[in-house]
A = this chain, B = another copy of it.
Amino acid sequence: MYDGLTNYGKTDFLSQLQNKKTLFLCAIATTATSRIPGITGAGATPELTEYTPAADVELIVHGKPLCLPEIPQTIIKGEAAPTPAVITKAALELSDIPIIVADAGARIKPDIPYIKLGNKPGEDVRTGKAVVNAKEIFEKGVMLGKTLSKLTNHLVIGESTPAGTTTALGVLTALGYDAKEKVSGSMPENPHHLKYDVIQEGLKAAGYEEGEIVEDALRAVEIVGDPMIASVAGMVMGSTVPVTLAGGTQMTAVCSVIKGMENKFDFSNLCIATTIFVAEDESADINHITHQIDDIPIFAVDPEFEKSSVPGLKSYLDGSVKEGVGAGGAMMAAMLQEVPIDNIRFKIEELCNKIF
């Protein structure tokens, strides 16, 4: 259908969205979970992971982070992989799609106008009390989804939540889905055992035995989730226009919460869009997780970084970085506005040369 776009599932979903007015919303959140050493690559040190969401959206809006002196990059084998925020920025600028940032609970706030949804960051999942205000964040998300869908015809929702695949694994596991060793990660070596151990510790701390299913979807977020999941689930349920969840396996956790809500949800207006780096991640399986939830189409965009002359971008090819800040969905949204994938890659290279 489009050069550089692979789809898994329903093929006709995108035709309704071509050249439609689109809004990109980026939900940001942090949790104390991201401070667990070795759990995430989204930050140079465990402490700095809490700056990543703010720095990412500042980079998109201002062209540089303001909360940090340095640009968020993942350093792997001495090579700096630029944050996927650069991909998102390139795609949104070429397609003139506006971005709105929603703070579901980020400890460091970005220096831009943003929508306030949550009052506090998430806790460490090992406490079993990861998001005490999940219900409130969800309800604010519903209100925001309602409002934003009056302003656009297609809502693309990305996220920046360090250690978000761990909390995604937590929610999926708590709700009874087989996600063990199936969630993606921000590093070449996916620390599946560490992720599994910390979410098991959280479930036990909250009084659940291994394998026992948490009946209430928002309760799963409260125990072992993150604020982003609650907010985005709310936005999707509040929206009256088609929604693209722009992200990898974290967005499957959002879908699992929606599926578990009392009000039955019609998934026919929802898709997941991610990068080819997540879709082809051999250490994870987004299709396997998604198919357990509902018939949700997944689209994967390939920016063809093997053609790039920027060394940092090649780090994406070996799995050093895969997705984030809605990079895949932002590229797909731009392609729906008739921006060719080659132009997006050229723009990414231009931004990389300018910023880094």
> CB < 8 Å: which of B23, B114, B115, B144 contacts A151?
B23
* Bound CA span A147–B100, Å: 8
A102 CB-CB contact with B under 8 Å: yes
A98 CB contact (under 8 Å) in B100, B140, B150: B150
Tell yes or no: A79 within 8 A of B by CB: no
A116 touches B113 (CB 8 A): yes
Count class of interface residues, chain A: 20 to 34
Residue of B nearest to A142 (CB): B113
Q: Are B147 and A113 in contact (CB under 8 A)?
A: yes
Selected from B61, B98, B113, the residue in CB contact (under 8 A) with A102 is B113
Residue in contact with A143 in the complex, picked from B61, B141, B147, CB distance below 8 Å = B61
Cα-based distance from A151 to B149 in the complex (angstroms): 10
Is B96 touching A150 in the complex (CB atoms < 8 A)? yes
Q: Is A278 part of the contact surface with B, judged by Cβ < 8 Å? A: no
- Closest Cβ of chain B: how far from A151's Cβ, in Å? 4
Chain A, 100-146, CB within 8 A of any chain B CB: 100, 102-103, 109, 112-117, 140-141, 143-144
Chain B nearest Cβ from A22, distance in angstroms = 10
- Interface: A313 (CB within 8 A): no
Count this chain's copies in the assembly.
2
Interface residues of A (CB under 8 A from B): 23, 61, 96, 98-100, 102-103, 109, 112-117, 140-141, 143-144, 147, 150-152
Known: A147-B99, A151-B23. A115 touches B113 (CB 8 A): yes
Question: Can you show 10 pairs from A to B with CB atoms below 8 A apart?
Answer: A61-B143, A100-B147, A102-B113, A103-B116, A113-B116, A113-B141, A113-B144, A115-B115, A115-B116, A116-B116
Main secondary structure on A side of the interface with B:
mixed
User: Given known contacts A109-B116, A113-B140, what 13 new A-B pairs fall within 8 Å (CB)?
Assistant: A61-B143, A96-B150, A98-B150, A103-B116, A112-B140, A113-B116, A113-B141, A113-B144, A114-B115, A114-B116, A115-B115, A151-B151, A151-B152
Q: Give A103 Cβ to nearest chain B Cβ, in Å.
A: 8
Provide the residues of chain B in CB contact with A98, threshold 8 Å.
Answer: 147, 150-151
A80 CA to B151 CA, complexed, in Å: 36
Cβ-defined contact, B113 with A143, below 8 A: yes
A96 to B115, CA, bound (A): 21
Nearest B residue (CB) for A119? B109
Q: Quick one: which of A61, A109, A140, A147 has the most chain B CB within 10 A?
A: A147
For the complex formed, measure the closest distance between the CB of A19 and the CB atoms of chain B, giving whole angstroms: 15
A143 x B112 contact (CB < 8 A): yes
The CA of A150 and the CA of B100, in the complex, are separated in Å by: 11
Bound Cα distance A109, B117 (Å)? 12
- Closest partner residue, chain B, to A147 (CB atom): B98
Bound CA–CA A275/B100 (angstroms)? 32
How far apart are A17's CB and chain B's nearest CB, in angstroms? 17
How many Å lie between the Cα of A171 and that of B96 in the bound state? 36
Q: Which residues of B contact A112 (CB under 8 A)?
A: 140, 143
Give bound CA distance, A104 to B99, whole Å: 20
Going nearest first, the 3 A-B pairs with the smallest beta carbon separation are A98-B150, A151-B151, A113-B144
Query: How far, in angstroms, from A152 to B152 measured CA to CA in the complex?
Result: 9
